[in-house]
Amino acid sequence: MKLDTSGLESAAPVWGAPSELVDGFSAGPSFDLPNTTDFDGFQKEAIQMVKPAKGTTTLAFIFKEGVMVAADSRASMGGYISSQSVKKIIEINPYMLGTMAGGAADCQFWHRNLGIKCRLHELANKRRISVTGASKLLANILYSYRGMGLSVGTMIAGWDETGPGLYYVDSEGGRLKGMRFSV
């Protein structure tokens, strides 16, 4: 295929000779494509390979009167069930809760750590930390440990001067505000 460049305003080549420009466009992709002719089926197969069979269920949502938080109580790792009565909702302070999904030790440690930092904030500033502030504090801490193998997926839910608040925070330091979450 020959590219007709006679109608262009400028005759000055961008890449050098016009043949180089044509060769650049007509060359094959510089990355490997999947060895398939049915790309729709290929994608469906890949999606079906990633099907989590088990895991924790924690959910929270904001409604007219406040925030509702719920969680299952089973602790498991794959097919092994270590406990049927784990408390996956952790009190950070009397107005704020955190949910636990991921590694139990990681979640418990970082929620306890957040509770201490929230109390220190209250003592230093003579007022309670907001739900927004607490979730941002946890996200910043977890961000500084990203890539270290932590396994934390938590929701920070509570009530402050601005009303109900709900945030999702993960072990990479990601933080989302929302009206409802399920982890």
Residue 57 confidence class, pLDDT cut points 50, 70, 90? confident
Q: What is the pTM of this model?
A: 0.68
State pLDDT tens for residues 89-133. Answer: 999 999 999 999 888 889 999 999 999 999 999 999 999 999 999
List pLDDT tens digits, range 136-174: 999 999 999 998 999 999 999 999 999 999 999 999 999
Active site residue 56: yes
| Residue 7 predicted with pLDDT over 90 | no
**Is CATH 3.60.20.10 what the domain over 58-182 is classified as, yes or no?**
yes
For residue 122, what pLDDT is reported? 96
pLDDT for 85 equals 82
Average pLDDT over residues 45-51: 52
Q: How far is CA 57 from CA 2, 102, 137, 140, in A?
A: 59, 10, 24, 25
Confidence of residue 17 (pLDDT cuts 50, 70, 90): low
In this prediction, residue 130 carries a pLDDT of 96
- Active-site hit among 5, 36, 37, 56: 56
